[in-house]
Amino acid sequence: MELRTLADARSRIDALDTEIQRMISERARVAQRVRDIKAESGDTTDHYRPAREAEVLRRAKERNRELGGPLADEVMARIMREVMSACLALETPLAVSYLGPEGTYTQAAVYKHFGHQVAAQAASAIDEIFRDVESGSAMYGVVPIENSTEGVVTSTLDALAQTPLSICGEVWLPVHHQLLSKRQDSSGIEVVYSHPQSFAQCRRWLDVKLPGVPREPMPSNGAAARRAADQPNCAAIASAAAGELYGLRTLASNIEDDPNNTTRFLIIGRQNPEATSADRTSIVCSAPQGGEAGALFRLLEPFARGGINLSKIESRPSRRAVWDYNFFVDIEGHQSDAAVAAALDELRGRAGFFKILGSYPRAVI
Ligand SMILES: O=C(O)C(=O)C[C@]1(C(=O)O)C=C[C@@H](O)C=C1
């Protein structure tokens, strides 16, 4: 059909929308059937399947490339993310605990990873998110682990070393900070509220644009935005979503010193996702007591021999003894891959403390 006029184009769009909706509804009915098949076969794992979701999203990107767009692969994958989120909500509504209050970047990470059809519940501290999932009051938790400017989130690392939960996913979120206030402009601002990490990410901008204005740390960016909404002569550094939520004006956008500022979040839960085509495994280990020379080298050497890529290593005081450290290591691959399994076995034999935190699909969107 040739689309000459606006009316032609719109009637074609109407026809396509009908078709798209018919197919989404059919997909939702199939997801309900999936739920019944799982129940009939006695499969008691959660309906949420991180490995399957990662494959569906990867395929959406591949297909988009094959079909030649014109939407970006990432945009198409996000649309599919929302479709799958709605289908999963029909099977089981997911309760996900995150670092609140509303308007935090962690909340944005929840929606980026799970889509919007989840019951996101705000917790007030990282430890509380772990407790929510451990006690079953939430099925999954989303915790920040690392920021590209400021480094690791130590309370998450410490909680991971202790928890019986495992990591079952990851999400990377570009973090763009806004200066938000009830005021019309930034002259006369008496205090700026934000999370210490966000202050650190905007240090240069603040030094130049708001020199001498006191910076008051808050437990989260969401809390900072809420405070700025109550105090008209103050401002907050937080996300655009927090600004909208608390009715604040954006006085300056994207004020982070590094435009590529990104935070990585982890999904924690009770699941151990099966292998996909692109996974990561996180472990924590320590050298045996005694402090012999080359102990860290001996711990990591099996990975080098097995040709396994290390994507990250971080050390933290173990709290078991003074000057004893836990090493948090991320490697590429799944613990069920033969080479990874062999290297992990060797490491287990050499380490003082050893724990697999989880194997999970690498972030797709
Ligand atoms: O394949 C499944 O196990 C489903 O439950 C279906 C489906 C989907 O909509 O594609 C929904 C939720 C899961 O997390 C993964 C996939």
Query: Does residue 6 lie in a domain region?
Result: no
Query: Is residue 53 lining ligand 1, measured as CB closer than 6 Å?
Result: yes
Give the length of the chain: 365
Percent of the chain with pLDDT over 90: 85
80 and 101 housed in the same domain: no
Flag whether pLDDT at 321 surpasses 80. Answer: yes
CA dist., res. 73 & res. 82, Å (int):
15
- pLDDT of res. 1: 67
Task: Report the domain count for the chain.
Answer: 4
State the average pLDDT over residues 63-74. 96
Distance CA 325, CA 345 (A): 20
> What's the CA gap between 320 and 297, in Å, rounded?
21
In this predicted structure, which of 18-22, 40-44, 109-113, 271-275 has the lowest mean pLDDT? Answer: 40-44
Please state the rounded mean pLDDT for residues 101-126: 94
Q: Same structural domain for residues 344 and 278?
A: yes
- State the closest ligand 1 atom to the C-alpha of 84, by its place in the atom list counted from 1: 9
Supply 106's token pair.
């962690």
Cβ of 280 less than 6 Å from ligand 1? no
Does the beta carbon of 28 sit less than 6 angstroms from any atom of ligand 1? no
Quick one: average pLDDT of 72-92? Answer: 95
What pLDDT sits at residue 293? 76
Q: How remote is the CA of residue 58 from the centroid of ligand 1, in Å?
A: 14
Q: Which atom of ligand 1 is nearest to the CA of 27?
A: 9
How many C-alpha atoms does 71 have within 13 Å on its Cβ side? 13
Same domain flag for 277 and 345: yes
Q: Looking at 211, 241, 268, which one is the last position of a domain?
A: 268
- The mean-pLDDT minimum among 96-100, 199-203, 286-290, 338-342 falls in 286-290
**Token duo for residue 253:** 């956008």
Domain containing residue 354: 272-361
Counting beta carbons within 10 angstroms of the beta carbon of residue 16, is it exposed (0 to 12), middle (13 to 18) or buried (19 or more)?
Answer: exposed
Say whether both 282 and 323 belong to one domain: yes
Last residue of one domain, picked from the residues 192, 224, 252: 252
What pLDDT is recorded for position 239?
Answer: 93
Q: In this structure, what CATH number is given to the domain that contains residue 291?
A: 3.30.70.260
Q: What is the pLDDT, as a whole number, of residue 324? A: 85
CB contact at 8 A, 100 and 136: no
57 lines ligand 1 (CB under 6 A): no
Closest atom of ligand 1 relative to the 31 alpha carbon: 6
35 Cα: distance to centroid of ligand 1 (angstroms):
9
Residue 8 domain-assigned? Answer: no
Residue that has been written with the tokens 């948090």 in this structure: 328
Average pLDDT over residues 68-84: 97
Residue 93 has pLDDT above 90, yes or no: no
Q: Per-residue pLDDT averaged across 295-318, rounded?
A: 93
Is any atom of ligand 1 closer than 6 Å to the C-beta of 60? no
Q: In what order do the strands lie in the sheet with 191-194?
A: 215-217, 191-194, 234-238, 178-181, 249-252
d(CA 94, CA 119): 6
The radius of gyration computed from the CA coordinates of the chain, to the nearest angstrom, equals: 23
Residue from 79, 88, 96 to probe ligand 1 pocket by mutation (most atoms less than 8 Å from CB): 88
The domain boundary, picked from 187, 220, 252, lies at: 252
Which numbered atom of ligand 1 lies nearest the CA of 91? 5
Tens of pLDDT, residues 209-252: 999 999 999 988 999 999 999 999 999 999 999 999 999 999 99
Residue of minimum CA distance from atom 10 in ligand 1: 84
**Closest listed residue to residue 97, CA positions, set 146, 51, 130:** 130
DSSP string, 108-173: HHHHHHH-SSSEEEEESSHHHHHHHHHHTSSSEEEEEEEETTTEE-HHHHHHHHH-S-EEEEEEEE
| pLDDT tens-digit map of 133-150 | 999 999 999 999 999 988
Residues 6+ apart with CB under 8 A from 349: none
Considering the domain boundaries, does residue 346 fall inside one? yes
Q: Does residue 323 lie in a domain region?
A: yes
Distance 3 CA to ligand 1 centre (A): 37
Residue 291, pLDDT score = 66
Q: What is the ipTM of this complex?
A: 0.98
One-character DSSP codes across 15-45 = HHHHHHHHHHHHHHHHHHHHHHHHHHTT--S
Q: Which residue has the higher pLDDT, 77 or 186?
A: 77
Q: What is the mean pLDDT of residues 58-69?
A: 96
13 in a structural domain: no
What pLDDT is recorded for position 178? 97
Give backbone dihedrals phi and psi of 268, rounded to 5 degrees, phi first: -115, 145
CA 265 to CA 42: how far, in whole Å?
32
Are 211 and 166 contacting, i.e. CB atoms less than 8 angstroms apart?
A: no
**Both structure tokens of 174:** 């570009």
* Domain contains 77: yes
- Please tell me whether residue 209 adopts helix, strand or coil conformation: helix
CA–centroid distance, residue 103 to ligand 1 (Å): 28
Considering the domain architecture, whether residues 106 and 81 belong to the same structural domain is answered as: no
Euclidean distance between CA atoms 239 and 250, whole angstroms: 10
Do 243 and 226 belong to one domain? yes
